[in-house]
Amino acid sequence: MTAEPDVIVIGAGVIGLSAAIAAQARGLSVVVLDREGPAAGASAGNAGAFAFTDILPLASPGILRKVPKWLIDPLGPLTVPPAYALKIAPWMFRFWRACAPSRVAHSTAAQTALMDLSKAELESFLEQTGTRPMLRKEGNLQVYEGEAEFGDSLAGWRAREEHGIEFRHLDAAGMAEIQPGLAPRFTHGTFTPGWYSIADPKLYTLALADHFRAKGGTIERAEVTALKPIEPGVEVYSPDGRMQRAGQVVLAAGAFSHRIARTIGESIPLETERGYNTTLPSNAFDLRTQITFGGHGFVVTRLSTGIRVGGAVELGGLDLPPNFRRSEAMLRKAQSFLPGLKPEGGVQWMGFRPSLPDSLPAIGRALATQRVIHAFGHGHLGLTQSAGTARLVADLLTGSAPAIDIASFSPQRF
């Protein structure tokens, strides 16, 4: 860097780059630092969905009831590797507390507000960045095995209905009209036509990086290990001793953010949902909408680059090696659920989804200094909430009133 920028953004995933572009659009000079470069983490391998209808937090009584059954299966929708169980126990306790009905109601209201903002900001952001052609509006089909599983879902759909989210419940024949080829074990479904997706999340994030650079922004490959507030700004340190300064810093380093926040005295209980997937060739199946197999914790998505089978949650932190048997287990299930699916030629992936116990991100100023803004912890909703988070970060950077009340996202709420 030849000159000190107004803002350094730490993280070149979809959250960091979206925030950098929004800050740039407000007239600020911005440099983005990332340990691996653009789209190297969870932004590359997610399911590509703008899941604006997912207003219900993962931390909820319904999930709590399913956890014991899920944990029995080491390759099931949720697992905690034995080597990590003790370390994650405090986070799990906070998650359990967040499942109280009053807290779920609070989290749902906050999540809904951020979803509404993100949806309202999305298409103008896509137009601004030249990525509008990548948007798809093909809907989502959630499928259920039998009357009991379908019945268990209805409370959640009533909550969405109260918020004006459009959906329609279907029988097997109705599902077949939208998506032929489902196994007969799926007797009920719910189709959400307002579900958006992106052609490919990695290509989208790389396009954001190109736009940011074209507008004069700089992206540098640099690991950040520490922050130091100074007057009148922030010093950013790398492992090799290199130091850079900016007037303000946005911490959007995904699953690594809490380690950096710790250097300015913040203890934020960020954990990692390790997500797995397999991306098959485009001709692997005639997929017409994204399918959610909620009882099994994974989705099947049509991307411009292939058919992606992925999801589930492994609460295993940042350091354990990947367990690709989880990808293989999901692919076997997908073959059973979609009998025409061709399983050959797939590419496996594992990524870190940064998650906080109450399913809400951390968006707001650091306690140690007003010049550091946190923007991380979106779990599996980073792409979905990227445009809304970018708007809020830009508001904070420029001293504007945030577009929505951000008290519920306070990094200090724990």
Q: Is the pLDDT of residue 304 over 80?
A: yes
Which of 355, 372, 404 lies at the terminal end of a domain, its last residue?
355
pLDDT the model gives residue 1? 44
CATH number for the domain that contains residue 69:
3.30.9.10
Task: Give me the amino acid identity at 278.
Answer: T
Q: What is the mean pLDDT of residues 170-191?
A: 97
State the Cα–Cα distance between residues 387 and 276, nearest whole angstrom: 24
pLDDT of residue 74: 76
77 upstream amide cis, omega within 30 of 0? no
Which residue(s) pair with 331 in the sheet?
Answer: none
pLDDT tens readout for residues 87-129 = 999 999 999 999 999 999 999 999 999 999 999 999 999 999 9
Domain extent for 399 = 1-60+100-135+197-269+357-414
Res. 2 pLDDT band, cuts 50 70 90: low
Crossing angle of helices 61-72 and 146-162, rounded to 10°: 150
Pair of tokens at residue 16: 């960091």
**Residue 225 and residue 262 in one domain:** yes
Strand partners, 394: none
More confident residue, 69 or 404: 404
Place of tokens 């969905």: 49
- CA distance linking residue 234 with residue 9, whole number of Å: 12
User: 284 or 312: whose pLDDT is higher?
Assistant: 284
Distance, CA of 48 to CA of 136 (rounded, Å): 10
pLDDT tens by residue, 373-402 = 999 999 999 999 999 999 999 999 999 999
208 and 122 in one domain? yes
Do 397 and 300 share a structural domain?
no
Answer yes or no: do 141 and 22 share one domain: no
User: For the chain, percent helix, then strand, then coil, each to nearest 5?
Assistant: 40, 25, 35
CB–CB of 258/318 below 8 Å? Answer: no
